[in-house]
Structure 1
């Protein structure tokens, strides 16, 4: 029996509703494969911020440093500014644990209708590799003259040779394991310093990955091409901001952000990695029991794969595909009437067969 200790941060909104689905899937597939999970729950959230003035304790990172992985539900509440909740929880974990790869797989499943008539099931299967700890989301900057006519705000982007090189190498290695095609997102025609630097490093690292065919696309044209030709892409590597925007766009192409998973990876495994669906806290439907747990379940598959249980991870993905292709069970965001619990039970049934 293999044992794993998982830190669970259910968070806000629909997070506490979809996280149990991921846990149920982990326990079910784990039983068959001789894997046991111990869950330590942490109440870190906007609710905690409103009562205690902080999203997590001052020693929060130390409390979860020894866990094998972190399972996150969602973060965000209308009563707390987004920059407060993000910089109070997610970003400290990502940066403190050097989770410099944000991995977001996208595919059109049989049984899920893409808003694009030409995005047929099986034709769209790509991965966005987003740089996750620097780039445009830096802490360098500030505000001057608040409330005055000359008020100004300065935000500095930070791109380092180490930061760009390591995420680009990861993306090239991933492409070599898939269909050996990589696209780099840039904007070097308008952003005159950081993006040419990014381009130079991508070209430099490409020389060490000659089995991968690669190209570079300006982010505005790339967004259009992901909509017009989504089947063309395999692995897309992008900076923090560009990858964030692009992965949500690609998830919408695949049928909706409710189905999309995400992994925040420390590839060297010096620290725990964090796994989360990308749909956010969705406060408009929180508490109604209709949230789509598919993103959280697919996230659980990514967690399994990262922990070395590739066969178990594949079984979870197969169960998702079986429910979507072979049953009418759908949550409202996918055009159905099923609730979170009903959809979860359908996945568990498929997983048990």
Structure 2
């Protein structure tokens, strides 16, 4: 029996609705198919915690989370109570940075029964590998002077080690898929960082002569995600470019509410973290209409990460069957509640 301990952080808004239901799905999956047992360590970190304690997590929060095999996160943020830069940097980004989760992986694909906003999505199935630790989201910079003389400086940091790691992961992933890697660049406009990115991509690609490697400027690539997403297999991108592309990927699927992601620690020293792409959605919190599939597909990525690919496939197949039957939340054209979708997925698993 394989035991997996999860640090569970429902967080804010709809995270508190979809996370407990997703754990229910995992428990049914484990009970029915055997071979694994999940142990949950629950944490109430989030904006409500901040309002009580002045921090998004306990002072020893990172140490406590680090005692689990993986982190299962719901959503972070409530701008009406806590400014976004405090909530994100105090919890989500803090976990990513301190646990050295240097890669963010986000798939996007067509599901039968889910209407894409594209008139002809052509069964696209792609995955974005995003460098998750540096790039345009570096903390290096600052402000000087005041009023009309004020200057803000934001430095982008690209290291050969982290860039190579992201590109290598993308090529290894492509070997298990359709054998194509596209690099997102902007070397015609960003003078230093993007030519460096291109050099590293070209150097790594030489180790994979059997894989089709290409580079595309981010503006054209973003447009092509909308017009021809079926052309792409694995895309590797910097922190900012990957962030933008994955939101487009979620949108062309039909809803950001079904998009999953994995934040991966690559050195084995810390847990990885699994979270849906969507935010806390305060506009629908408490209405029972939140889409649980983003969190549940995220659970599938967690299973894959822990070597339980067969169980992960069972879970995603159950989601597909539910979609085919038209059991969906309102964000993707359905009339079902959050709990009705989860119950249907559990029935399919059975």
- Global fold match (TM > 0.5): yes
Q: SS of the residue aligned with 1:4?
A: strand
* Matching residue of 2:216: 217
Residue by residue over 1:98-152, the C-alpha shift from the partner in whole angstroms, topping out at 9 and shown as x without a partner, is 11110001111000011001104xx210000000011111111112234x11111
Q: Indicate the residue corresponding to 2:139 in structure 1.
A: 139
Deviation at 1:66, TM superposition (A): 2.2
Cross-structure match for 1:82: 84
Q: State the distance in 2 between where 1:140 and 1:317 align.
A: 40
- Residue 328 (structure 2) pairs with residue 330 (structure 1): yes
- Distance, in Å, in 1 between the alignment partners of 2:57 and 2:15 is 16
Farther off after superposition, 235-244 or 260-269: 260-269
- Equivalence for 1:258: 257
Partner in structure 1 of residue 98 of structure 2: 96
Structure 2 SS opposite 1:276:
strand
Match of 1:59 in 2: 60
Q: Give the distance between the partners of 1:25 and 1:208, measured in 2 at CA.
A: 41
Which structure 2 segments of 5+ residues have no match?
Answer: none
Structure 1 unaligned blocks of 5 or more? none
User: When the two structures are superposed, what TM-score results if normalisation uses the length of structure 1?
Assistant: 0.97
Give 2:111's aligned residue. 109
2-side partners of 1:95 and 1:210: how far apart? 33
Q: What RMSD in Å do the two structures reach over aligned CA positions?
A: 0.9
Whole-angstrom distance in 2 between the partners of 1:68 and 1:351 = 25
Shift of 1:332: 0.8
CA distance in structure 1 between the aligned counterparts of 2:220 and 2:176, rounded to whole angstroms: 26
- How does 1:27-46 map onto structure 2 within 5 Å? 27-31=27-31, 32-46=33-47
Counterpart for residue 275 of structure 2: 276
Partner Cα separation in structure 1 for residue 85 and residue 204 of structure 2: 34
* Cα distance in structure 2, aligned partners of 1:267 and 1:231: 29
Structure 2 CA distance for aligned equivalents of residues 90 and 207 of structure 1: 35
CA–CA distance in structure 1, aligned partners of residues 340 and 223 of structure 2:
36
- Please give the secondary structure, in 2, of the residue aligned with 1:338: coil
The answer to whether the aligner puts 1:229 opposite 2:228 as a matched pair is yes
Aligned-partner Cα distance in 1 for 2:235–2:39: 35
1:149-164 equivalence runs, <5 A:
149-164=148-163
- Report what 2:308 is aligned to: 309
SS for the counterpart of 1:100 is: strand
Displacement, 1:156? Answer: 0.7
Any idea what SS the aligned residue of 2:260 has? coil
| Aligned residues of 1:135 and 1:240 also touching (Cα < 8 A) | yes
In the aligned structure 2, how far is the partner of 1:96 from the partner of 1:340? Answer: 33
Whole-Å separation in 2 of the counterparts to 1:211 and 1:173 = 11
CA distance in 2, matches of 1:135, 1:24: 37
1:9-24 → structure 2 map (5 Å cutoff)? 9-24=9-24
Question: Is the 1:258–1:292 contact (alpha carbons within 8 Å) kept by the matching residues of 2?
Answer: yes
CA drift at 1:34:
2.5
Contact 1:223/1:249 (<8 A) preserved: yes
TM-score (structure 2 length as normaliser): 0.98
1:69 equivalent in structure 2: 70
Q: Does 1:3 align with 2:3?
A: yes
What is the rounded CA distance, in whole Å, between the counterparts of 1:116 and 1:203 in structure 2? 33
Distance in 1 separating the partners of 2:22 and 2:194 = 38
Give deviations 1:144-190, integer Å, cap 9, x for gaps: 234x1111111111000101000110001001111000100001111
What does residue 126 of structure 1 align with? 126
- Which portions of structure 1, spanning 4 or more consecutive aligned residues, are displaced by more than 4 angstroms? none
**C-alpha distance in 1 between matches for 2:340 and 2:164:** 44
Contact 1:102–1:262 under 8 Å retained in 2: yes
